[in-house]
Structure 1
């Protein structure tokens, strides 16, 4: 697993202008994922920067799969996703309860399998929804992402670390927004 993790962490990082086809790619891929592992899927959402219209992003569509709490991907689920060319990278060490898969082809995807309506589910969708409704914050985030990608062009881990304080600040603002608006 650590060999896979190192391979992920030492990946070229590039941020590109928003592409309108990301939502179409999500919809098509989400259906394939649902068909492959329908017995554990409660809901599938497009999240991450590619889900925010106009936001520059790494050209990798992030897919959030919500399952019943306590349901983990089995060997059968891993094999079903492997048939769709997904590589299983295991449980995220920084975010326990998140199981990570990636597909690296012409169109690239990440799948995060998490408990539906748990903290990881809610936090990721709140972050997305906040950026969708606050274009000035999304624009600032794009600038942070571009700067981080230039500084850490060959290290995903360093790229993530360079964005972390801004992301944490946005999460706090999103929670306050949610509390004030009842979102």
Structure 2
């Protein structure tokens, strides 16, 4: 792995890098209900400070194989005043795991959910939503993406971020098609 990437991850991951075995499972029909319960917790914790809570990534796409981790997108007005959202989310059972410029990520103690937090207006949010919406309607790209994830899951990863990095090219390719037509 690139030394710069290692140093960057070491600077933003709270608790350091964690070796992980990636497990891809078939789509589970209860994932949307699990998301709804988690989203309710976030909304109750933050009230109107939660500008938007969306189900994103693979568990939000019916029929797409995925890691059994619910990914959520939380939009807040501003990331900088962490006191406006971090303590409330921690009290609600979310643990701050990543603090990087423009992005915070929390997870549940059970590691069955990731909550990605961004400020309103960021391009990352449209990437998540455009990819989700395209994969919900485009079976060839949904199958292509699932196959790439299965291939990558057969490898050994010293941190989940390296697995995510390895998917960057296929995601960019799919997003180009989604935005072209």
Deviation, 1:148, is 0.4
5 Å matches for 1:35-50?
Answer: 35-50=44-59
5 Å matches for 1:92-171?
Answer: 92=100, 96-105=101-110, 108-171=112-175
The answer on 1:56 being equivalent to 2:60 is: no
For residues 76 and 98 of structure 1, the distance between their equivalents in structure 2, rounded to whole angstroms, comes to 15
The number of residues matched between the two structures is 171
Contact kept? 1:14, 1:153, Cα under 8 Å: no
Contact kept? 1:48, 1:128, Cα under 8 Å: yes
Contact kept? 2:14, 2:99, Cα under 8 Å: no
The answer on 1:175 being equivalent to 2:175 is: no
Among 67, 77, 80, the alignment partner of 2:88 is: 80
For residues 81 and 143 of structure 2, the distance between their equivalents in structure 1, rounded to whole angstroms, comes to 36
CA 1:121 to 1:161, structure 2 compared with 1: closer, same or farther past 3 Å? Answer: closer
Contact kept? 1:90, 1:99, Cα under 8 Å: yes
| TM-score with structure 1 setting the length | 0.84
Gaps of 5+ in 2: 1-9
| TM-score with structure 2 setting the length | 0.85
For residues 156 and 21 of structure 1, the distance between their equivalents in structure 2, rounded to whole angstroms, comes to 24
Deviation, 1:154, is 4.8
For residues 56 and 84 of structure 2, the distance between their equivalents in structure 1, rounded to whole angstroms, comes to 25
For residues 130 and 20 of structure 2, the distance between their equivalents in structure 1, rounded to whole angstroms, comes to 27
Which residue number in structure 2 is paired with residue 14 of structure 1?
A: 23
Which residue number in structure 2 is paired with residue 181 of structure 1?
A: none
Deviation, 1:5, is 5.7
User: Secondary structure of the residue that 2:97 maps to in structure 1?
Assistant: strand
